[in-house]
Structure 1
Amino acid sequence: MYAIVDLETTGGQPAQDRITEIAVYIHDGEKIVDEYATLLNPGRSIPPFITQLTGITNDMVRDAPKFHEVARRVVEITEGCVFVAHNVRFDYSFLKKEFADLGYNYSRKTLCTVRLSRSLIPGQPSYSLGKLCQNIGIPLNGRHRAAGDAHATALLFGRLLGITQESEAGAPGTPTADTLAQVDALAPAGRRPEGPGGTKAPSPRRVAAVQEAIRTALLPPLVSPQLVASLPQATGVYYFHDEAGEVIYVGKSINIYKRIQQHFAVDVKSRKSLDFKNSIADITWELTGSELVALLYESHLIKQLKPAYNRAQRRSVFPAGIYLRTDEQGYKRLLYGKADARNAEIPIIALGNQYKAQGFLYHKVAKFNLCQKLCGLYKTQGACFDYQVHRCLGACVGEEAPEAYNARVDEAIDSITYEHQSFVVIGAGRTELEKTVVLVEHGRYLGFAYVDDTFTARKIGDFRDVIKTYTDNKDTQQIIRQYLRTKHKGEKVKVFA
């Protein structure tokens, strides 16, 4: 049995939006045998653009039941059924969230008619419900209303089941010949086995097609299970491509196969995340061997390619920074300012803009009890404000000795720099006969290389000669610092004076 479901909601994010209408059609594999539909009071105002899309107004739902009043009916009518929907993760995620708010774990096997349609009716110009139904002659009355969309999806589902029954094994878009052969072997040749009460059981080909659709329901519609099965269980970076071949997301993992499975298994949190999954048409990858190299290379690729669905680490220019200077009295002074490529002075850390640099420095002043005046955060000829409220120990007026003050400045610097100024991290390669090297010289990340396992170096210049150069920035500094705080089996750090 199959429960074909459609929902209308106040928006696209299950975490904050609510259901305004639900429709369920029960399909026995041959025909619709039961149905349920109702408006729901979402307990909040329906945005005007949603009303314009669905026609559902606040007045229409004011006296409608709330979800908790119909929850038992939804559980009962879908009990023992496969949950079917067009873009199933969207509807399923909303229902799971509504039930979770009631303290109930709603769980059903799922099947996506978008994915099944792409498999069994290839070559369509669009697989949106409205356009697909129009192109293959399925009536759709009441578009963007739950009952109308659910009924059309039920008719589409019936059409798809008919295709699986008529299709030949091995035809494009059908289950594989091996899968069908295994199922066909369960029934005598030339006839279908009888089901309960003498009814005809589903054809073996239909069973195989539906089981395959359930098994792959969590995958993006354009991604084949064969592609996912071919993913390596190894360390590296991976790329999600759209239908045009453009990279829309870059990620990294110590196990690419498991990480991508996690991408596809999570519930949809928003319309954007649904669009993201539906946009994925291909997956490629590059192995790195070393987790540190994967982290650094991912950061570089995000800055270089700027994929549409990567939010973090997209900034490639860092025009501000924190600098270290020593004044005539011997006090070390941390100052924020513009980063100028023409200036030979290298910042301790590069940041996105002067506002962020100022905020970063305020944080270090508070944490390490530094002087606002000496850090350029309080303009005055006398004592800084913190001295007046007894938070500054008096470096601004010469009451604290430079040696004592500078010790805390050094602690602040240590918190944002490496333990050693020049070093190499040597780690695993892509094969047993290879290793990776990541080079940091004078506190700046220079790049990484893959070298033969027999490679030896006596001086830092030997490593400099083999690496591919990459840009040093705030993100790479943070990646390396965090990585070095934890021990990694099989890796070593070679320090140079």
Structure 2
Amino acid sequence: MYAILDIETTGGKYNEEGITEIAIYKFDGHEVVDQFISLVNPEIPIQPFVVGLTGINNEMLRNAPKFFEVAKRIVEITSDCTLVAHNAKFDYRILRLEFRRLGYEFQRKSLCTVELSKKLIPNMPSYSLGKLVKNLGIPITDRHRASGDAIATVKLFKLLLQKDSSKEIIKHSISSNPKLQMESKLIHIIDELPAIVGVYYMYNQAGNIIYIGKSKNIKKRVNQHFTNSSHKSKKIQQEVSVVTFESTGNELLALLKENEEIKKNKPKYNRALIKDIFSHALYTDKDKNNYVQFKIGKADPEKENITTFTNLNQAKSILEKIVEEFKLCQKHTGLHKTSGSCFNYSIKECYGACVTEESAEDYNKRAQQVINKYSYENKNMLVIDRGREVDEKSVILIEDGKFKGIGYYNLNFQVNHIETVKNIITPMQNNRDSQHIIQSYLRRKKPLKIVEF
């Protein structure tokens, strides 16, 4: 649990400042579950330049509560939380300073979104909150007011959690969790999980990831793990301490995220999934008469392919659908081995490429349509689909035919500049598995939109 906060102060000499406004949003990693926002009477004058910056003046604070009147609420809402702030050293110092004046030693773990941003989103032109969120397409209102800056920090932190594929932020907080008895522990874990599409992560008491999975219904899938009597499931039940999750909004991003993070984190109970997930591929060349030939073969990392398949039966089934949709020749796709005409020619479903009645030029135009549909080689495009929330969309970036990563953007933000899209993207490996996942998914389902650029 995180307490994401922003504090406005009077300004002045170091360790003589007072708080004029505070906003705290209690964030569970997915949504805000509690909040506290209040002006505070610092009992000392505000520096003129601060009045100009924040708009908060001495008159506004005359009837505001003094710090001792809000101190209990601050302790309560931050209890068992890690404090998160943009330039956390400043906010944490000011908060501790005010509590010391009351004779209370306030201590919490803290995280700084400036430091996290520099690590997870390198090479940004500026890491000031206003400029950073603007470059990331994160809306911000009431700049230099506690509530506006704090809610922008919530959105920034949510993006940083998404980009933290090694899960260092979450691992940091898990080892201090109290250990429960096995039965109550499993029940408690399931109760805390949602029935949404996404990726889930199982950690042991030391904070190490032991299993990663994806599901259209996370709650149901984890419950299956905890009620299964297989040897692997029993081992997981004994070792698991915490299960976290990430909503992805749609199945495609869940598949890609699961594939990426299993390979990166190598959980010990995911060993079977660390290997390649496809076995066959669709290849193409031309015969002596210049007709495009399609051929199914075993997947070879050294050879360029049109698309990949999980097994041979799937490959044949999809190729048969391609032949039917694009009126291709069974002979030139390897589905009917013959020296003469193919079977479809006899029932007038083939235009005669098998006996050279149809010209190679005409036939190859339809063959190229297949290649364009099932391969994104050399393409620059965005695959846009449902996001995690109603006012959000997900985006997959393909650049020069290579998968670059995934991200999310607010509907109020127009995806017009590719550089801005790159800022919100969580980079991912462009490997055969990720290509297979994208191609296979796009064969089965249509995303909301594909934008080529």
TM-score (norm 1): 0.40
Q: Which has the higher contact order (CA 8 A, sep 6+)?
A: 2
Length-normalised TM-score, structure 2: 0.43
User: Looking at CA atoms only, which structure, 1 or 2, has the larger radius of gyration?
Assistant: 1
